[in-house]
Chains A and B, each alone.
Chain A
Amino acid sequence: MVRNFQIQINISLKKGVADPQGATIKHALESLGYPGVEKVRMGKYLQMEMQAEDPRQVEKQLKDMCQKLLVNPVIEEYTYQIRMS
């Protein structure tokens, strides 16, 4: 049976890779007077809907997509969530 899957992917810069956007946002938050902002890292968020029969197939394909296109492994890393709907 074909089922629907809701997928969320978070892509962020690897630890140690300088993030000028994150640094600027942190600075802006400090300028606005918010105390205690320690670290800001900016990333990307992708939402996807997929149809498949087997959840394992979805996960396999998702990893492949990330490695091939969605993520640049030199500077980025990713996490994902798959929900059946």
Chain B
Amino acid sequence: MKFGVIVFPGSNCDYDCYYAIKSIVGEQVDFIWHKEEILNDYDCLILPGGFSYGDYLRTGAIARFSPIMSGIEQFARKGGSVMGICNGFQILLEMNLLPGAMRKNQNLSFICRYVYLRVENTHLTYTGLCRVGQILKIPIAHFEGNYYADEKTLKGFQEYGGIVFRYCDKEGRVAEESNPNGSVEAIAGICNPAGNVLGMMPHPERCCESLLGSPDGRIIFESIVANFQKRTMGRKR
């Protein structure tokens, strides 16, 4: 399986993604500079965290016009797996590949700490190895992660399982106290109706080993790989 990690000026989690894919799950991975215009045969594209273009104007607002973006849009519209983490999620929102927008955190602070997530949708490429209600300990690091979507969008999420991760406490309870940034419905990650585009604020690539505080991010990458293997085996038969 071959991953591509898109690199923008200001990306800073690109190496973490590269490391998680190459050294932890042992798959092929390339860095793709945002000025490239052609995407080769990738099976999954990752938009990493960071501060693309210094977060000027709005987070992700300028990155979405990079030359590579039309290729990513086509890849996603054809059903290709695209995952945006943190700033990558913000870029997917600006591109309208995912609905909604980010506001500044409710407490107006940059929050960098471990949080607990509850997995709400396990029918995706990214969560296939998870149990419904599984609790993952994964860190967040953002200023603008206070997710907003209108009523209609939230209703749509209910219909197709658009909410993938919610902030919760250690026991998996979703409450105001366990919502770090004020996101509506404690949303930490969402997908599109087709389920091939995922955006999440927490950083699974930063926690794939106990040595780094938690191994819980690993299941996301392992799910992607397991899903790919299942699909390609089906194709061979």
Contacts and interface: CB of A to CB of B under 8 A. Distances in A.
Contacts of B149: 74
Interface in B62-92: 62, 65
A21 interface: yes
Interface residues of A, number: 12
B146 A20 contact: yes
Interface in A41-85: 69-70, 72, 74-75
B217 interface: no
A69 B57 contact: yes
Interface stretch (B104-112, B194-202, B225-233): B104-112
A72 B58 contact: yes
A75 B103 contact: yes
B58 A20 contact: no
A31 to B, nearest CB: 15
A69 B57 CA distance: 9
A18 interface: yes
A17 interface: yes
A24 interface: yes
Given A17-B148, A18-B182, A20-B182, A72 B104 contact: no
Interface of B: 57-58, 61-62, 65, 93-94, 99-101, 103-108, 146, 148-150, 182
Interface of A: 13, 17-21, 24, 69-70, 72, 74-75
